[in-house]
Amino acid sequence: MRRRLGAEAFGTFWLVLGGCGSAVLAGDKIGFAGVALAFGLTVLTMAYAVGGISGGHFNPAVTLGLVVAGRFDKKDAPLYVVAQVVGAILAAIIIAAIASGVKGFEFGDGPMHAPGFASNGFGDRSPGGYSFLAVAVAEVVMTAFFLIVILGATAKKSVAEFGGLVIGLALTLIHLITIPVSNTSVNPARSISQALFAGGDALIQLPVFIVAPAVGAALGALAWKAVLAGPEETELAQGVEPS
């Protein structure tokens, strides 16, 4: 368990450092597409680096979805979530330490990053001014499909060697679609870590980016089990060795 939790903390640290770090430190240079690619690359690289140790969740919503799908032991889920949030916060500390080294940087909604410190938001905190409802729908739907991709890419009959690549590309696509909408969460640990530094309205709006991805993950897992899972997946979910 020590190794597994360490892998989750390191993986989530890298996701936030690479994804949110690119938005805060280089967003004005690389644009939305560059930030989206950075998020995808973090998951891709960590999936192959430490995914074999912990399963490569790096996201409380993914952990919840895997529990609902019967792919992960629910008694281990709280420890995974704690490790993920700790890793994300440590990464935010590093981003803050680097970002504060340039003149004019602000942790709130300053001119050098929008919304503040790569945090998520709706209304006037949405990069495109999208409403609460639009943001909630986007987060639920995108997280649901992220879980469907994860469950499909790691299914027993999938090509396991390409799982990390597929999941990383899926996260890139999700960011390409929703950075203008909500600055893309689909990951409560990522949202918590940035909101702690952005403060103010980012913290007030934070519950949306905890609840919506969790709901989406559960719905995606349920949809997978009901429609897409084969007999061998059902047997595995029930703890029975497939025949």
pLDDT tens per residue, range 18-38: 999 999 999 989 999 999 999
The domains of the chain, with CATH numbers, are 2-237 (1.20.1080.10)
**pLDDT for res 237:** 52
181-203 pLDDT tens trace = 999 999 999 999 999 999 889 99
Residue 47 has pLDDT above 70, yes or no: yes
**pLDDT for res 95:** 95
61-111 pLDDT tens trace = 999 999 999 999 999 999 999 999 999 999 999 999 999 888 777 665 544
- Per cent of the chain over pLDDT 70 is 90
Residue 160 has pLDDT above 60, yes or no: yes
Please report, for residues 59, 121, 126, 204, the alpha-carbon distance to residue 109 in angstroms, rounded to integers and kept in the order given. 25, 11, 11, 14
Among the listed residues 104, 106, 136, the one whose alpha carbon sits nearest the alpha carbon of residue 118: 106
| Predicted TM-score of the model (pTM) | 0.91
